[in-house]
Structure 1
Amino acid sequence: MYKVLIADDHAVVRSGLSFLVNQQANFKVIGEEANGTDTYMRVEQGGVDILIMDLSMPPGESGLLTTQRIHDKYPNVRILILSMHEEQEYINKAIHNGAMSYVLKSSSDDELIKALKSLSNGENYIDKNIMITKSDIQQINSDGINVDLKGYNGLSKREKEIFPLIALGYSNKEIASQMFIYTKTVEAHKANIIRKLQLDTRADLVRYAIHHHLIEF
């Protein structure tokens, strides 16, 4: 039985996907999340074989970044991107960052089912409505298409989890409550983030996050 985690910011989409997946033999939905940070934390808990994830789950961390973080830390989790984004840039980046499958939300349920079955066999699957050219393959296999940020990549796991919350304007108290840590711990992480990124203020941090497409509103 393959354990599936579903991540999408729309409850009705999560509900529909759960119903569809649970109808398939050997697949069972074990959880649902609505943003990148919570998705990463749920994967971190273990027991996830396949992740079906949207790329746009505002407000919060970019799905492309979440894909990369999960793949780098938990490479055994098979990632299926289900997105409205048909732009080749998104598709190439998602695959480069670790997604094994990319399916369009505009496609039929059959595409998602085919993707699930392929992933269960350890095979990649790209929506039949997506054309992958030789140029795309070169981009996917290149070293420069992923999130290549020296400062950001130097942040700790916890700092990367807190980063989008700070950028989105959550207070220290709100972040502490959401992350189940002390307010002073949040303050320390915030100071470390600003120092590591060589920024001066939270406004600079917001500009940094937007410029590098690290968050979505």
Structure 2
Amino acid sequence: MGETLRVVLVDDHSIFRSGLRADLDPSVEIVGEAADVAGAVSVIAELQPDVVLLDVHLPGAADAGIPDASGGEAVLRRSSLLAPRTRFLALSVSDAAEDVVRVIRAGARGYITKGSSGEEVSRAVHAVAGGDAVFSPRLAGFVLDAFGAVAGETATASDELDRLSAREQEVMRLIARGYAYKEVAAELFISTKTVETHVSAVLRKLQLSSRYELTAWASERRLL
């Protein structure tokens, strides 16, 4: 299947991880594994893999400060800036439209079910690494339906973003991805107090009441 890809496998069932690892093509090298949100974020940041095979439902989202998200969403939000060149492929037993749409909006490049063969998963990993979007056939319709009005949503999001300064937009995206105030401050080299001031301004300008509403707002507009 071409070049060897470095892959991190994230799933809370060790038996599934072992079985999948044995079935994958030799060109897919599992360089790390994790079973929960915190472990996944840590190993992804450390190893900077080409692709992450990510279970949608993982324990630890609440501990990561994102209680309203699935575990897979939480990993995506926390890892997007820590590993900017890494691509994410969701792998789940669920084929529910809500699960598919939420992880794609959070940043996954594809979504396939755990009924896929090792060869199918391997091909999907290579496709995602190459920049393609990959979905199990029955899931593609959900994605088309969910993003059919992207042009209109993009225009609306652009108008709303015009209310924010460039720095406020930077803070908004990090907060919406689940970063704590101290983490935002470290990322942008500003004080925690300044972050708090920017967040207050963002919420006021967008007429939102909490960081969780901000995350939902940004996710709906594909700004994460």
TM-score range, shorter chain: 0.5 to 0.7
Q: Which amino acid aligns with 1:16?
A: F
For 1:70 and 1:212, how far apart are their aligned partners in 2? 18
1:35: which partner in 2?
37
- For structure 1, the residue ranges without an aligned partner over 5 or more in a row are 167-174
**1:190–1:54 distance in 2 versus 1, CA, 3 Å:** farther
**1:37–1:163 distance in 2 versus 1, CA, 3 Å:** farther
Residue pair 1:93, 1:140 contacting (<8 A) in 2 also:
no
Q: Show the 5 A alignment for 1:112-123.
A: 112-119=121-128, 123=132
Q: Which amino acid aligns with 1:21?
A: R
Residue pair 2:90, 2:112 contacting (<8 A) in 1 also:
yes
Secondary structure of 2:76 counterpart: helix
Q: Kindly indicate whether residue 189 of structure 2 is the aligned counterpart of residue 189 of structure 1.
A: no
For 2:77 and 2:50, how far apart are their aligned partners in 1? 14
1:208: which partner in 2?
213
Q: Show the 5 A alignment for 1:117-196.
A: 117-119=126-128, 123-132=132-141, 136=144, 139=147, 142-143=150-151, 148=157, 150=161, 154-156=168-170, 160=174, 164=178, 185-196=191-202
Residue pair 1:92, 1:140 contacting (<8 A) in 2 also:
no
| Bigger shift: residues 141-150 or 21-30 | 141-150
Residue pair 1:96, 1:145 contacting (<8 A) in 2 also:
no
Q: CA deviation at 1:54?
A: 3.6
Q: Which amino acid aligns with 1:100?
A: R
For 1:29 and 1:77, how far apart are their aligned partners in 2? 14
Q: CA deviation at 1:155?
A: 4.2
Q: CA deviation at 1:4?
A: 1.0
* TM-score, structure 2 as length reference: 0.54
Q: Give the aligned CA root-mean-square deviation in angstroms.
A: 5.0
**1:191–1:144 distance in 2 versus 1, CA, 3 Å:** same
Q: Which amino acid aligns with 2:150?
A: S
- For structure 2, the residue ranges without an aligned partner over 5 or more in a row are 220-224
1:102: which partner in 2?
111
1:49: which partner in 2?
50
Q: CA deviation at 1:3?
A: 0.9
2:76: which partner in 1?
66
* TM-score, structure 1 as length reference: 0.56
Secondary structure of 1:164 counterpart: coil
1:100-132 C-alpha deviation (Å, 9 max, x unpaired): 321124x24444344224435654432144353
Identical aligned residues as a percent: 12
